[in-house]
Amino acid sequence: MLKKISRFLGLIFFVSIISIFIINKATVAHEKPLVDNGQIVSQNSEAINVRIIPLKDNIYMLTGEGGNIGLSVGDDGVLMIDSQFAYLSDKIKDEIKLINRRPVNYLINTHYHFDHVGGNENFANDGAVIIAHDNTFKQMQKDHSYPVLGMDVKASPASALPKITFNDVSNFHVNGNHIKAFAVPPAHTNSDIVIHFAKENIIHTGDLFFNGFYPFIDTEAGGSIDGMISAIDQILALSNEQTIIIPGHGERGDRASLIKFQEMLKTVNERVKERIAQNMTLDDIISEKPLADLDQEWGDGFLTSDQFLTIAYQGIKN
């Protein structure tokens, strides 16, 4: 029960999305929830608890709403990984000040999704240099629609865009940490990067890892389960039994929990591919409930198994 409560609190972001969707659907059937500059228009920051979790030495994980944040703090200032939502920026800044009075100098985005880049503009206005994948820069300049989530997202303003981009590897040497950010082929999106703190043995996966529940995969941006599985192989090659893993969503993880997540992806992928090979339609596959045995462990997040089957099917067919 405690595990479920903790997971629910960590996923309040997604519950908020679905709640807004249900309300909109009930009142005006054709309307979708709108995210404008990383902010769900009806959200209230007062209800969100932002919390810093010490990991090792000067590395921290920050939870709130949206993607988990990673932090390196020290004499050089603050390097931050992802920025959650615009309306939480002040709370995030206040929490960071508890461990370091210096401003955020560098902000790395793991990919372009609004729950990871929503606070970019606020931190850029304070002087943070934003770094991301080439495709994050491109994707943030577009409007996006997510039919599975029933929502639309507006393009980000110019001030929120990355100032430095890459499509292979970028290294950072700050606060005594030697940090490698590297791109992976399309997986969760076509803009994913992984951040590796080699000396500290800590990895921030972005949304290549949803710890304990079915993941959202952006098939419209080139994402697929096959891509996720391959990207996780790269992460596992850098890890050992002592590795601390910051997932995109969910509780702090480790190598064992990442392997478990990957095994689930492989199982789902195999089952969906088998049915596609039998010329079954998506509706046929959903009606068979092929993930029923997985739902108790993985279906306690924001996606139902039917929604995840839809995502898996689209990724394979695309």
Q: Is the pLDDT of residue 6 over 70?
A: no
- Structure confidence at residue 15 (pLDDT): 38
- Whether the CB-CB separation of 62 and 69 falls below 8 Å is answered with yes
- Structure confidence at residue 19 (pLDDT): 38
pLDDT tens, position by position, 24-49: 322 222 334 444 444 444 355 677 88
**CA–CA–CA angle 208, 211, 214 (5° rounding):** 75
CA–CA gap between residue 35 and residue 114 (Å, rounded):
8
CA–CA gap between residue 56 and residue 14 (Å, rounded):
28
CA distance to 13, 14, 69, 119, per residue, from 48 (Å): 9, 13, 15, 15
The SS3 call for residue 289 is coil
- Structure confidence at residue 44 (pLDDT): 57
- Structure confidence at residue 43 (pLDDT): 53
For the chain, the structural domain boundaries read: 2-317
- Structure confidence at residue 5 (pLDDT): 44
CATH number of this structure's domain 2-317? 3.60.15.10
The SS3 call for residue 181 is strand
Q: Find tokens 């509706």 and name the residue.
A: 283
pLDDT tens, position by position, 249-259: 999 999 999 99
Annotate 54-87 with b (16+ C-beta within 10 A) or e (fewer): ebebbbbbbbbbbbbbbbbbbebbbbbbbbbbbb
Percent of the chain with pLDDT over 70: 86
CA–CA gap between residue 295 and residue 267 (Å, rounded):
13
- Structure confidence at residue 42 (pLDDT): 39
CA–CA gap between residue 265 and residue 209 (Å, rounded):
11
- Whether the CB-CB separation of 221 and 190 falls below 8 Å is answered with yes
Q: Is the pLDDT of residue 17 over 90?
A: no
Neighbours of 1 (CB within 10 A): 5
CA–CA gap between residue 316 and residue 273 (Å, rounded):
7
Burial (CB count <10 Å: 0-12, 13-18, 19+), residue 183: buried
Q: Is the pLDDT of residue 8 over 50?
A: no
Residue 32, token pair as written in the block: 């979708």
pTM of this prediction exceeds 0.75:
yes
- Whether the CB-CB separation of 12 and 65 falls below 8 Å is answered with yes
Phi, psi of 3 (to 5 degrees): -65, -40
